[in-house]
């Protein structure tokens, strides 16, 4: 029986081990697919410890297990300055998102992105930016499916394969805001 997402909540330090387990399995999967976006050098436990400390990392749970995660903040990597974005307003950026392979095809990725949208809107932010490796078929497809706009492609983050950059302008109507 497929589980149901119990909640999406701020990550805690005791989530680090299951998060790193997801990272290891996702990195192996990426390598099999020829995608070098994540590897043994990135992301590291220190990245997630920092995200947790700054209250920017959120996990989804199914049956008490970490099924996915996403980092949401306003940090823009320096590479973002070279992209022609759709607009220039207060924003949030989506980083380090993954769904555990055992929990795929249950809509968790879409739920995490919708959660990010709701969190942004609750914070008075109506604009999101993000990126992914051009070979990351799953993330590229998910961003497009959920209405993110492809705004450019370039080599970035020290990788040889180009990255795709996306943004999304969110509705600012209070009628579209959901409680978190």
Query: What is the domain-level CATH number for residue 132?
Result: 3.40.630.30
For residue 70, tell me if it sits in a domain.
yes
For residue 180, tell me if it sits in a domain.
no
Please give the angle made by the CA atoms of 74, 168 and 158, to the nearest 5 degrees.
60
Which stretches of the chain drop beneath a pLDDT of 70?
1-5, 173-180
Kind of pairing between the strands at 163-169 and 149-154: antiparallel
At 66, is the secondary structure helix, strand, or coil?
Answer: strand
For residue 178, tell me if it sits in a domain.
no
Domain count for the chain, please give it: 1
Q: Which residues pair with 42 in a beta bridge?
A: none
DSSP label at 16?
H
pLDDT of res. 59: 98
pLDDT of res. 7: 87
pTM, rounded to two decimals = 0.89
Length of the chain in residues, anyone? 180
Angle between helices 108-122 and 137-145 (to 10 degrees): 50
DSSP label at 103?
G
At 154, is the secondary structure helix, strand, or coil?
Answer: strand
Torsional sign, CA 133, 83, 57, 172 = negative
Give the range of the structural domain holding residue 104, as residue numbers without chain letter. Answer: 5-173
* Element (DSSP H or E) covering residue 143: helix 137-145
For residue 141, tell me if it sits in a domain.
yes
For residue 179, tell me if it sits in a domain.
no
Distance CA 127, CA 121 (A): 9
For residue 124, tell me if it sits in a domain.
yes
The 10s digit of each residue's pLDDT in 68-117 is 999 999 999 999 999 999 999 999 999 999 999 999 999 999 999 999 99
CA-based nearest residue to 107, from 147, 145, 51, 150: 145
**β-sheet with 92-99: strand ranges across:** 5-10, 57-62, 65-73, 92-99, 127-133, 163-169, 149-154
For residue 119, tell me if it sits in a domain.
yes
Distance CA 105, CA 9 (A): 20
For residue 82, tell me if it sits in a domain.
yes
Q: Are 104 and 68 in contact (CB under 8 A)?
A: no
């Amino acid at each position: 029986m497929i589980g149901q997402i119990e909640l999406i909540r701020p990550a805690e330090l005791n989530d680090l081990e299951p998060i790193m387990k997801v990272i290891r399995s996702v990195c192996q999967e990426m390598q099999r697919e020829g995608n070098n976006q994540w590897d043994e050098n990135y992301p590291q436990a220190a990245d997630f410890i920092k995200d947790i400390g700054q209250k920017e990392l959120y996990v989804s749970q199914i049956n008490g297990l970490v099924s996915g995660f996403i980092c949401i903040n306003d940090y823009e990597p320096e590479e973002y300055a070279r992209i022609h974005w759709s607009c220039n307003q207060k924003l949030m950026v989506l980083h380090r998102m993954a769904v555990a392979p055992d929990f795929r095809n249950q809509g968790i990725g879409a739920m995490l992105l919708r959660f990010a949208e709701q969190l942004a809107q609750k914070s008075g932010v109506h604009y999101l930016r993000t990126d992914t490796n051009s070979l990351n078929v799953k993330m590229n497809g998910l961003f497009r499916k959920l209405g993110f706009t492809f705004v450019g492609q370039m080599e970035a983050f020290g990788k040889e394969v180009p990255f795709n950059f996306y943004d999304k302008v969110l509705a600012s109507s209070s009628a579209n805001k959901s409680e978190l």
